Structure 1
Amino acid sequence: MSAEAEGSPQWVAAVALPANALATLVLLAPWPSSDVTVTAMMAALCLANAAFIALMAKKSVGREALRRLPSRPERRHAAHWWFLTKSFVSYGGLMVVQSLALILPPAVLTLLSLPMKIVGSVSATFVNAIMPRLVHQNTDSPAAARKFLRQLAALIGGVAIAGSIGGYLAFPQYFTTVVIVALWLVASASSSVAQRMTFRFLPPSASRVTIVVVPVIVVAVALSTQSGGFGLVALLCAYALVDASSSFLLLLSLGDKLMAWVSGLITLGLSGIWIGSLLSNSP
């Protein structure tokens, strides 16, 4: 993370690569049982991570960013409390949503996990590997990040539209799901970029605009479980709305009205799909 703050994202982008690569190679061996296989995989993960840490320490990765930190804060502040509260609410709220999802059949949970992995990988690939080059501790303007966000939204939006059309032609029964994932991809990328710009260009207290989002959505999911139409569509919309609504609020705070309205339209669209699914499938 220190190297990322310097504008060098390659280390954080590759942080899981050595461990996953070694664990995959180890799994190819003919181990005598599943228990031994899992043990070998975990050992490989630990070994590769230790080697990665040793390599970073040898190359003094991120050391310059730490060196430039003041020996003590110039003044007392509550920044860490804002970030701690935001993390607690976000992770805690999503855990509640996952718990509520357990009332659905196992097949639905499997279908839910696939879009989550797709969206997470797209955001990690495009945002985590590029944004630190545009926004870091020496950046004094969000102009480059705003331009990147527009280009990224156009790219993902184009792919999402093409994917939705292809999904409708090939699997019409999953068209609604494909559309939700398409909207979620744009919302997730926008939210990730907006979060990084917020950390750099707004005070920590700006986190308060998104802290309320997750509890509202958790309550909405809890109420939706009382409907006969609660299912995969409602869950996907809930997860996507966390990113879409957060992106909308943060981009408004950052003064990026164009992308804020894009996120706002996605929020309205997802809300409409959620409500429609509950009404159409209710007894």
Structure 2
Amino acid sequence: MADALRRLISSSSSTVLAGLTQGFGLLQLLLLVAGSPTIESDSYFYLISWAQLPTQLIVSGFVYPVWLSGTRAVRRRLQVALISAPFVAAAGPLVAMWIFQSITGGYSTLLLHSALFSALGVVLCCGWALALRLAADGNTAWVSAVTLISNILSCATLLAMTHADVSARMSGMLIAQIVGMVVTTILMVRSHPTLLKRLTAEPTQGRIVTSKSEWYLLQSLAGYGGMLILQTLSAALAPAALSILGLIGRLVSGLNTVVTNAIVPKLIHSGSDSDRSVARFVNIVVAISLSVASLGIVIAAGGQLPLAAQFAVVLAWFAAAVLNAAFKRVAVRFAEPRIAWISALLNALTAVSVLGAWAFGYQTLFVILLGYVLLDLLPGLALAILQRHTVAALLTAAGVIAIAALASPYLI
């Protein structure tokens, strides 16, 4: 059974795998929230962010760019980063529990759920590290399906526990996710016997850079730190606001993951010598997304359907996310690591601006949502311009901002 599953993932289309992974991922959240959001579902969206933070911050934000860039003489730093990430992952949800308890008052099983999130964070860190190491070499199958088994098991568990209370369903969901990630990690190691050694191996033909790879870590800190600030602010909004934002964010990240994990690594990887193919691909995706989003605005205005406007914002955010993810990879591959300071500065300014708006009384769902969009749009715009794709970048930014402005009356 395990060998059959391993062969199935290795041989399947990355796009199909990514689509299935994100589809089951969204379904599990809908099954969890089923009916109406609660404080338990709010805690899921908050704690999962902290459980995933070390993976996003250290593995995706620092280690993967080093692998992708082919930078040499960094083995010791890779070892330190990869060893420390699981420990940070275990501690993150416990910190988040204290913050969530302080803001909302918590609930009876919050400690149990936090412990499960800590375990989930550790196995996510390990699984994503292995999958991203393969993706850096252009192998996108596993990075497209890294949480597929977890999501399927999670959906099955939630369906089996339909009549249980939300706290019990959430416990079962988390246990299923942990088991799924353990299985996935074992399958990856069995499929690629040398993978563990490759995690910290020097590239055979690396490039020499004049700035330190820690710039990638600074970029990651600012980006994911800004996201956590926005999530913490949203926890203080009306009940269930965090769940609503979490579902919207999951839909955007799901669409973006299908693109960035399944397709972009094939166009830009450690052996790439040009960014032309990825630029063309981004232009096509952005054009389609903004066109459909514009149609959503027209439908909302004509029939007073808020849902159409909300869908338009999702597509606009998706366009910004694709721009950012793609050109960050281009910058990592072809530019010096120090270019990451631009993304770090823009993300820090976005978080400070949202905090300022909050302090002046603009405490709305739209302000938070706009902050999320700008975390992707501004770095993507700057990096695309620096990579000499100015016209396409400016048109994307104009389209995203216009759709967000037109949709705002339906979101406030």
Q: Return the offset for 1:99.
A: 2.0
Deviation per residue, 1:58-114 (Å, 9 max, x gap): 111774993973489887965331111111121222212222233321254343333
What's 1:243 paired with? 376
The question of 1:161 aligning with 2:280 is answered: no
* Residue pairs, 1:204-223, within 5 angstroms: 204-223=337-356
* Residue pairs, 1:167-178, within 5 angstroms: 167-173=300-306, 177-178=310-311
Secondary structure, counterpart of 1:97 in structure 2:
helix
Aligned-residue Cα RMSD (Å) equals 3.3
What's 2:148 paired with? 17
Query: Could you tell me which of 53, 58, 62 is aligned with 2:190?
Result: 58
Query: Could you tell me which of 27, 34, 55 is aligned with 2:158?
Result: 27
Query: Could you tell me which of 32, 44, 47 is aligned with 2:176?
Result: 44
What amino acid does structure 2 have at the position aligned with 1:202? A
Secondary structure, counterpart of 1:28 in structure 2:
helix
What's 2:277 paired with? 144
The share of aligned pairs that are identical, in percent, is: 22
Q: Return the offset for 1:243.
A: 0.9
Worse-matched range after superposition: 4-13 or 45-54: 45-54
Secondary structure, counterpart of 2:270 in structure 1:
coil
Secondary structure, counterpart of 1:95 in structure 2:
helix
Q: d(CA) in 1 for partners of 2:188 and 2:213? A: 26
What's 2:246 paired with? 113
- Work out whether residues 149 and 184 of structure 2, in 8 Å CA contact, stay in contact via their aligned partners in 1: yes
Structure 1: runs of 5+ lacking an equivalent: none
Worse-matched range after superposition: 52-61 or 264-273: 264-273
Worse-matched range after superposition: 111-120 or 195-204: 111-120
What amino acid does structure 2 have at the position aligned with 1:12? V
Q: d(CA) in 2 for partners of 1:36 and 1:124? A: 29
What's 2:86 paired with? none
Secondary structure, counterpart of 2:213 in structure 1:
helix
Worse-matched range after superposition: 144-153 or 104-113: 104-113
Structure 2: runs of 5+ lacking an equivalent: 1-131
Q: Return the offset for 1:26.
A: 2.5
- Work out whether residues 180 and 237 of structure 1, in 8 Å CA contact, stay in contact via their aligned partners in 2: no
- Work out whether residues 150 and 177 of structure 2, in 8 Å CA contact, stay in contact via their aligned partners in 1: yes
- Work out whether residues 20 and 45 of structure 1, in 8 Å CA contact, stay in contact via their aligned partners in 2: yes
* Counterparts in 2 of 1:242 and 1:138: CA distance versus 1, 3 Å: same
* Counterparts in 2 of 1:61 and 1:183: CA distance versus 1, 3 Å: farther
- Work out whether residues 2 and 65 of structure 1, in 8 Å CA contact, stay in contact via their aligned partners in 2: no
- Work out whether residues 194 and 250 of structure 1, in 8 Å CA contact, stay in contact via their aligned partners in 2: yes
Worse-matched range after superposition: 70-79 or 93-102: 70-79
Q: d(CA) in 1 for partners of 2:343 and 2:268? A: 21
Q: d(CA) in 2 for partners of 1:257 and 1:62? A: 42
Q: Return the offset for 1:195.
A: 1.3
Q: d(CA) in 2 for partners of 1:44 and 1:108? A: 26
What amino acid does structure 1 have at the position aligned with 2:331? T
What's 1:226 paired with? 359
Instruction: Please report the TM-score for the alignment, with normalisation by the length of structure 2.
Output: 0.59
* Residue pairs, 1:194-205, within 5 angstroms: 194-205=327-338
Deviation per residue, 1:211-254 (Å, 9 max, x gap): 11122112211221234443122111111111111111110111
Aligned length: 277
Secondary structure, counterpart of 1:139 in structure 2:
coil
Worse-matched range after superposition: 82-91 or 41-50: 41-50
- Work out whether residues 256 and 322 of structure 2, in 8 Å CA contact, stay in contact via their aligned partners in 1: yes
Secondary structure, counterpart of 2:269 in structure 1:
coil
- Work out whether residues 245 and 267 of structure 1, in 8 Å CA contact, stay in contact via their aligned partners in 2: no
- Work out whether residues 9 and 128 of structure 1, in 8 Å CA contact, stay in contact via their aligned partners in 2: yes
Deviation per residue, 1:106-136 (Å, 9 max, x gap): 2543433332122111111122210011111
Q: d(CA) in 2 for partners of 1:178 and 1:126? A: 18
Query: Could you tell me which of 260, 268, 273 is aligned with 2:393?
Result: 260
